[in-house]
Structure 1
Amino acid sequence: MLGGEVRDLAIADGRFVEVEALADPGRVIDAEGLIALPGFVDLHTHLREPGREDAETVLTGSQSAARGGYTAVHAMANTAPVADTAGVVEQVWNLGREAGWTEVVPIGAVTVGQQGEQLAELGAMARSAADVRIFSDDGHCVADPLLMRRALEYVKTFDGIIAQHSQEPRLTEGAQMNEGIVSSELGLPGWPAVAEEAIIARDILLAEHVGSRLHVCHLSTRGSVELVRWAKSRGVAVTAEVTPHHLMLTDELVRSYDPLYKVNPPLRTRADVDAVRAGLADGTIDVIGTDHAPHTAEHKCCEWTAAAMGMVGMETALAIVVEAMRDHDFGWSDVARVMSSRPAEISGLPEQGSLAPGRGANLVLVDPDAAVRVDPNEHATLGRNNPFAGFEVSTRIVHTVLYGHQVVADGSLTTAHPITEGGSWIV
């Protein structure tokens, strides 16, 4: 089923084709009762390789992505070494192609070593085989306004994007959770909403002044939604993402002191959750970005103050988005927009985000009436730090197709696939 309409999809040589043009389908998938969507595109993941393979590798992260319905994921630059040179981003790009479970698109660092002191090799990364177009120091804010301006000016020359981790460092020193009633009662140092909003406001004005593209990573507060809405009303080239966990969870969970709920930006209040849901529904927020951040058990199974910040989320993203948006006018076409077509458009991936004939055959088939209990121990990612463990959800990824090759069948991984190859069949 596509857009409420029951019809066939045909694939030949790794691309969607008109059904009538396919004389001899090599195989047929019975997708009765399933929803067909373009393969998902994630603008925000942490695949950890090189350097942190104990937490995740490009291979295991790619397998996790495929099981979550993702046919393209963007790998953040906070690896070891940092992806701040053409050599490192090409290494990540090649690892993705060798893995063959999803398209892996490297994100380059904005500054050398993510230190916020001097610009990295932005032009060299853009001209590399990885063809980098998005740059981010995610995990660190580009706090220096002059450096941020120069970065925006530089990437404008090749239609690049700066994806900002909006966190004013001086306002969040030692922060452990959202600043508010709960942090006061628990006695934990707070991360105030204004620390996010101040950077977003500054960067919107810089992007408008320069005429460049700005992407707001993991937006989390009511005020941030209003700022992005205001910027778009002015015609500023700003886009924004929200994570599944910020659509669903609140800072009340921190009362448990369970480090599963420790994340950056932190879980916010119910009013913030309601605001980001509304912003996603009305198009103010453009995309879902999982901020998939696997950690080893030693960095999560410890006391709250010592625990690392981050959550895994690619394998549960769709189900959580569906659950979070049930009270809004948010149908499957909206899911396709925020998880497929719009992120592909932002990143400039012409073969992703569409089921139209001639486009790359990247497809996910979804059971909208499943009954599933989230169990992180069954996931492909090395990370077990999923905050939705034990949740009952009603949406299940059944099949994922990458450039015409079925990498997931009935929820299980099949075989990897070189992206350049294809096959002929009908769904």
Structure 2
Amino acid sequence: MANIDLIIRRARLDDREVDILVSDGAIAEVRDAADTLDTGDAQVVDASGLTVLPSMTDCHVHLREPGFEYKEDIESGLRAAAWGGFSNIMCMANTKPVNDTAPVTEMMLEKAARHWPGGPRLFPIGALTKGLKGEELAPMAELADAGCAAFSNDGVPVKSTELFRRAMEYASDWDRVVIDHCEDPYMGVAAGVNEGAVSSRLGLPAQPDMAEALQVARDVLLAEYLELPIHLAHISCRKSVDLIRFAKARGVRVTAETAPHYLLLTEDYLEGEATQYDTNAKVNPPLRTEDDRQAMLDALNDGTIDCLATDHAPHAGHEKETEFDVAPCGITGLDTALSVTWQLVREGKLERGAFIRAWTMAPCSIFNLPVNTFRVGDPADFFLFDEDEEWTVAADTLHSKSKNTPLLGTTLKGRVKTHFIQGKKIV
């Protein structure tokens, strides 16, 4: 056992109590826990009573640096990721300047390496068009060579179908996938509330679910015609799920994600006695109906929705402390995503296998990122998790620089105790 440098003792993995042996940053062996074990010179961590889970991947995060460091920066965002159980973070390009040139990409990677040299790993997403203006393609070859893992126009849908088609084609030349924010650019853009009875009672400008589904339909038709992959961001409604399910049945190379807030909350939250007009719940796409929420859970369980992603969108307090219709859209999620989605597993609403697939294997397969499945040779990326520890979401319990979450004041269950990436403890 001379080459074993880390041993995790008596951790719960699925329905087993196991010992995990790590060598040179990789999984060397996972065996049933033994009463005695020759540990040699290895570091030994007693995980009795704790669950071990593979580190998660978040393929949709806003880290705000450069340009908006008062909301979040790479150091603070990766700190929230580390404590949230994430080893891979993909960050969107809506920075200032926009990540549409190699120097911006390289700066992001340099900051990540300086502040978190052992991970979480940062994978920038390059802008699809210059300045996210939707007028001219960004230099994709330059961005791919600099380290961009995918391309997206983020929250600014590309109006020109012809330009979007060319973007998908050019991205494929560098084996990259285009991620699309599906929103009709003329229909209730970024309204932040679902169009229906609730928005009418609240007197707010709203966006119908059709605004998302129209763009989903365009994208899957393009993907089928071009025989190229497309990834659809933060899906929120049943109409979109039905289109994606139909496309997958036809063999279209479409993948999709949803976010934890679409599994937990509905538009009704905005009419609550204590939460009416809560700008912390203003998000794009908006919280939808109970039927849409159930559709998201069903689609995750049956694989129609491939991934979970936080769409972590930090904003400073003063930006949210204003009238609902002028407040920015966005919810922070890196700190809370694990507890929220694990609670759904505990309640039997989300299958454990779907949880693991959606947070680990699926996003890593789509974007060609490292993943731990606890097979020999996999990167030793995992965290020890206390399923029973209760904690209250508050300014002093969140690691993100911004605190704009509708979960403030809520008691959640489940907390990361320590996190290893490539066999090295990062928190």
Cross-structure match for 1:204: 220
Residues 192 and 329, structure 2, Cα contact 8 Å, conserved in 1: no
Judged with a 3 Å threshold, the aligned counterparts in structure 2 of structure 1 residues 46 and 214 are, in CA distance, closer, same or farther, namely same
Question: What secondary structure, in the 3-state scheme, does the structure 1 residue paired with 2:377 have?
Answer: coil
Cross-structure match for 1:403: 422
Q: 1:378 aligns with which of 387, 391, 397?
A: 397
Whose strand proportion is higher, 1 or 2? Answer: 2
Q: Which amino acid aligns with 1:53?
A: E
Q: Give structure 2 stretches of 5+ with no counterpart.
A: 1-11, 32-36
Return the alpha-carbon distance in structure 2 between the equivalents of residues 174 and 135 of structure 1: 21
Q: Cα offset for 1:352?
A: 2.2
Percentage of matched positions with identical amino acids:
39
Q: 2:343 aligns with which of 306, 319, 323?
A: 323
Q: 1:273 aligns with which of 269, 293, 310?
A: 293
Question: What secondary structure, in the 3-state scheme, does the structure 1 residue paired with 2:340 have?
Answer: helix
TM-score by length of 2: 0.91
Q: What aligned pairs does 1:20-419 form with structure 2 within 5 A after superposition?
A: 24-100=40-116, 101-128=119-146, 130=147, 132-173=148-189, 175-255=191-271, 256-326=276-346, 328=348, 330-349=350-369, 351-408=370-427
Residues 297 and 349, structure 2, Cα contact 8 Å, conserved in 1: no
Q: Cα offset for 1:333?
A: 3.3
How many residue pairs match? The answer is 405
Residues 376 and 386, structure 1, Cα contact 8 Å, conserved in 2: no
Q: Which stretch of structure 1 is more off in the superposition, 68-77 or 391-400?
A: 391-400
Return the alpha-carbon distance in structure 2 between the equivalents of residues 270 and 170 of structure 1: 26
Q: Cα offset for 1:303?
A: 1.8
Q: Cα offset for 1:330?
A: 3.6
Q: Cα offset for 1:174?
A: 6.9
Give the structure, 1 or 2, with the largest relative contact order (CA under 8 Å, sep 6 or more): 1
Q: Give structure 1 stretches of 5+ with no counterpart.
A: 409-427
Return the alpha-carbon distance in structure 2 between the equivalents of residues 307 and 35 of structure 1: 39
Deviations 1:271-299 (A, max 9, x none): 11011011111111111100001101111
Residues 344 and 353, structure 1, Cα contact 8 Å, conserved in 2: no
Deviations 1:298-339 (A, max 9, x none): 111122122111010111101111234555464433322111
> Runs (4+) of structure 1 moved beyond 4 Å?
19-23, 325-329
TM-score by length of 1: 0.91
Return the alpha-carbon distance in structure 2 between the equivalents of residues 227 and 25 of structure 1: 55
Cross-structure match for 1:14: 25
Question: What secondary structure, in the 3-state scheme, does the structure 1 residue paired with 2:126 have?
Answer: coil
When the two chains are superposed, the root-mean-square deviation of aligned CA atoms in Å is 1.8
Q: Cα offset for 1:160?
A: 1.1
Q: Cα offset for 1:357?
A: 1.9
Cross-structure match for 1:5: 16
Q: Which stretch of structure 1 is more off in the superposition, 118-127 or 26-35?
A: 26-35
Question: What secondary structure, in the 3-state scheme, does the structure 2 residue paired with 1:323 have?
Answer: helix
Residues 30 and 374, structure 2, Cα contact 8 Å, conserved in 1: no
Return the alpha-carbon distance in structure 1 between the equivalents of residues 88 and 41 of structure 2: 26
Deviations 1:56-76 (A, max 9, x none): 000000000001000110010
